[in-house]
Amino acid sequence: MSIPLKNDHLLRALRREPVDTTPVWVMRQAGRYLPEYRATRAKAGSFMALATNPELACEVTLQPLERYELDAAILFSDILTIPDAMGLGLSFAQGEGPQFAHPVRTRADVERLGVPDMEGELRYVMDAVRVIRRELAGRVPLIGFSGSPWTLACYMVEGEGSRDFATAKAMCWNEPALAHQLLDTLARSVAAYLSAQAAAGAQALMIFDTWGGMLGPSAYREFSLRYMAQIADALKSDAHAREVPLILFSKGANAHLAEMARTGCAALGVDWTIDLADAREAVSGKVALQGNLDPVVLRANPEVIRREVRRVLDSYGNHPGHVFNLGHGVTPEVDPEHVKVLVDEVHAYSRVLRAA
C-alpha cells in the first residue's frame, strides 16, 4: 500500500492540471553548495561511496528538503551509474570531473557491452529509491532519472568530460553503424533502468541529455532524439512506467522542442536561452515545461533573484503545466540562502499570478 501524497503539485503540473502555486525543484539540489552535503560526502569518502550507499544517498536526497519548501525530491545518484555498471571503471577525482578507466573506442569495446542487471549491479540505485520513498512518507514525489543515450555515449567514448566531445562526435561521422550499436545498447539499458526505478517507487522520471545541443539539427535527430523517443516508446508499454510522467531535457536544443514534444513525453526541460512564452508556443501547450532560470542568477543579490524568478513566471503566464526549475544545475559556489529566496518567491509570486 502506498501512502497518498501530501503535496502532489509536481504531478498535477506535469499532467497540466491547475495548481494554486507553481511547483519548484532545483536540478542538483543535493550537492556541493550545501555544507551538510559536503559533510556527508566526507564521511562516505568519495562520491561513488556516497551514491552506492542507499542510507547515505537517502540522507543527502532529503537534505535540501529540510532547508527549503521544495515540491519534489530527486534521487541522489548520477547519470554515469549505467556505464559504471557496464564495467567502464568510473571514478571522480576530488574537484575534478568523472573519468573512465576503460573508454569505449573500438568495435570490440562496443560489442562487450550489455544491458546491466537492474537488481544486480544497479541494485544500490533501486534500494536508494525504496529507502527514499519510505523516508519521504508521501511528503513530496520522488523523481528518478537517467542520462540520455547520447550524453552517456559522450562520456563513455571520450573517457572523461570535454569541451566539445570531439572523440564521441567523430565516432558518429567515421563509424555511424558502431555509434548506433552503442546508442541502441544504451537506449535499452536506460529504458530498463527507468522502468526499474518506477517499479522501485519513482513517481516521475527525467532524462538528462546535457550534450544534445552540441549536435547540429540532423545529427541531433539521428544520434540523440531518436534514442530518447525509443525509450519513451518502451516506457509507454511498460507495466511499471506507463503511468509515470517522463521529462526530457536536452540542454541547448530549444530549436527542437516541437519534435521532442512528439515523443509522447509529459514534459520538456528548457534551458534559459529561450522565453518560456516562446517555448510554450513551440509545443502548442501539448506538454508541460520545466525551467528555466539561468543558474548564475543565484549568484546575484536576493532582489535580483526575486525579480528574475517573477520574470520566468510571467513569461509562462497563468496557464497550467509549469514546473519551476533552473535551466541547468545549481553550481557549488551558490549561497544556500539564495536558493531559499528562489523557492519562496516561486510560491509567493505564483499565488499572486493565479489570483490576477
Can you spell out the DSSP letters for 100-129? Answer: ESS---SHHHHHT--PPPTTTTTHHHHHHH
Q: Write the CB contacts of 279 (distance below 8 Å, at least 6 apart in sequence).
A: 254, 257, 268, 270, 289, 291, 292
Taking CB under 6 A as the rule, does residue 268 contact ligand CP3? no
Contacts to ligand CP3 from residues 127-146, by CB under 6 A: 145
Active-site entry in 33, 37, 68, 155:
155
Q: Which of 41, 169, 306, 322 binds ligand CP3 (CB under 6 A)?
A: 41
- 139 labelled as ligand-binding? no
DSSP state, residue 292: E
For ligand CP3, the closer CB: 52 or 349: 52
Count, residues in the chain = 356
For ligand CP3, the closer CB: 11 or 57: 57
Q: What does the per-residue mask of binding to ligand CP3 show for 90-119, with x meaning CB under 6 A?
A: --x----xx---------------------
Angle at 70 between CA 17 and CA 5, to 5 degrees: 55
CA atoms within 13 A on the CB side of 337: 4
Taking CB under 6 A as the rule, does residue 264 contact ligand CP3? no
What letter represents residue 19's amino acid?
V
Annotated catalytic residue 41 = yes
- 124 labelled as ligand-binding? no
Annotated catalytic residue 311 = no
Which residue number is nearest to ligand CP3 in terms of Cβ? 210
Euclidean distance between CA atoms 290 and 32, whole angstroms:
23
Active-site entry in 8, 12, 28, 209:
28
Q: Which of 74, 128, 232, 244 binds ligand CP3 (CB under 6 A)?
A: 74
Burial of 320 (0-12, 13-18, 19+ CB in 10 A): middle
Residue that the C-alpha cell 530527486 belongs to? 74
Taking CB under 6 A as the rule, does residue 80 contact ligand CP3? yes
Annotated catalytic residue 117 = no
Q: Cβ distance 351 to 20 under 8 Å?
A: yes
Instruction: Round the CA-based radius of gyration of the chain to a whole number and report it.
Output: 19
Q: What does the per-residue mask of binding to ligand CP3 show for 325-344, with x meaning CB under 6 A?
A: ----x---------------
Buried b or exposed e, range 120-156, using 16+ CB within 10 angstroms: eebbbbbbbbebbbeebeebbbbbbbbbbbbbbbbbb
Taking CB under 6 A as the rule, does residue 212 contact ligand CP3? no
Q: Which of 47, 68, 223, 324 binds ligand CP3 (CB under 6 A)?
A: 47
For ligand CP3, the closer CB: 156 or 280: 156
Which residues form the catalytic set? 28, 32, 41, 78, 155
Binding residues for substrate are 28-32, 78, 155, 210, 328
Residues that bind ligand CP3 (CB under 6 A): 27-32, 41, 47, 74, 76, 78-80, 92, 97-98, 145, 161, 208, 210, 329
